[in-house]
Amino acid sequence: MKEIQDDSRKNETLTDFFLLGLFPELQYISILITSILLVYIIAFTGNAILILLIWVDSHLHTPMYILLSHLSLTDLALISTTVPKMAINFFSGKKNISKVACGTQIFFFFALGGGECLLLTLMSYDRYVAICNPLRYTVIMNPRVCLQMALVSWGGGALNSLFNTIYTMHFPFCGSREIHHFFCEMPAVLKLSCEDTSLYEMVVSVICIVFVLLPLGLIMASYMLIFLTVLHMNSPEGRRKALAVCSSHLAVVSLYYGPAMIIYMTPHSFHTLEQDEILSMINTIFTPMLNPLIYSLRNKEVLGALRKAMNRRFILS
């Protein structure tokens, strides 16, 4: 019985991948990992507070804030897909990850990443309707449409990810099983395959056009129309408020789309493994931390809801 268990463990080890982690040759890597854990705590807390505020405060039950709560939920899940496993591997000294766990990580990473691309596009449409067609805003962006938008972002991301995960993990892996990354990122995993993956990589480029370039084009078109409308506004206060909301959204878009386009839409020879890791850190670790800060610090409604919640807690205590 013991021999059978030992054999099964050996077989599991043979099929496991090994995550080399962030910059394995860096001298003070422990300081970096500790800093990332601090960023994770800030991101988790910030997004959780923003979700709670939006769902508790009735004044924030508008399409813009409901979509924002879904963005925070996506960011919270996205950063939780990569950082905890990376930290556990580092502090335990174990670098292995099973094939099933690796496939699961790829699925959630792509599902949440693709969903966020769609969600940011739908959020820009919401702002376009609110600023360019304010009289019909409540008719166009009714609760049913808002729910459908959220379902499209989650469902679209999941379907795209399911295809990519199944196809990536069906390739045979031979030779080295060392993944030069801090999580199971698809391009890093494909490099371990002993089959030619160039055709599939071309398919991924086409998928990126659908999930990255097309949404980015729609976002930029929306904001061009918004900018032209804002220029013709008579109210300085209305102009200032519109620009504040839109600049926050554009900041988030640039932080998210920039690294994604470089990683997935440029030839691998154009960027090193270390550059990929830095871009992935921006995309999956720092952006989820910055999103709630960007949206809340420049938003009077969110700050007002936060003050109200803190005053209520102070009174109750």
- Residue 47: C-alpha distances to residues 43, 61, 200, 276 (Å): 6, 17, 35, 25
- How much is the pLDDT for 4? 41
Q: Are the CB atoms for 265 and 244 separated by under 8 Å? A: no
Residue in the structure block whose two tokens are 């990376």: 86
Enter the pTM of the model: 0.86
For the chain, the domains span 24-315
- How much is the pLDDT for 259? 83
Burial (Cβ within 10 Å: 0-12, 13-18, ≥19) of residue 145: middle
Distance from C-alpha of 73 to C-alpha of 3, rounded to nearest angstrom: 46
**Residue 193: beta bridge partners?**
173
Q: Which two tokens stand for residue 142?
A: 């009714």
In tens, the pLDDT along 194-237 reads 888 878 877 877 777 777 888 888 998 988 888 888 877 777 77
Burial (Cβ within 10 Å: 0-12, 13-18, ≥19) of residue 185: buried
Distance from C-alpha of 192 to C-alpha of 207, rounded to nearest angstrom: 22
Is 2.60.40.10 the CATH classification of the domain at 24-315?
no
Distance from C-alpha of 39 to C-alpha of 284, rounded to nearest angstrom: 11
- Residue 207: C-alpha distances to residues 48, 121, 186, 220 (Å): 31, 16, 13, 19
Name the residue type at position 213: L
In tens, the pLDDT along 23-53 reads 877 778 889 899 999 999 999 999 998 898 8
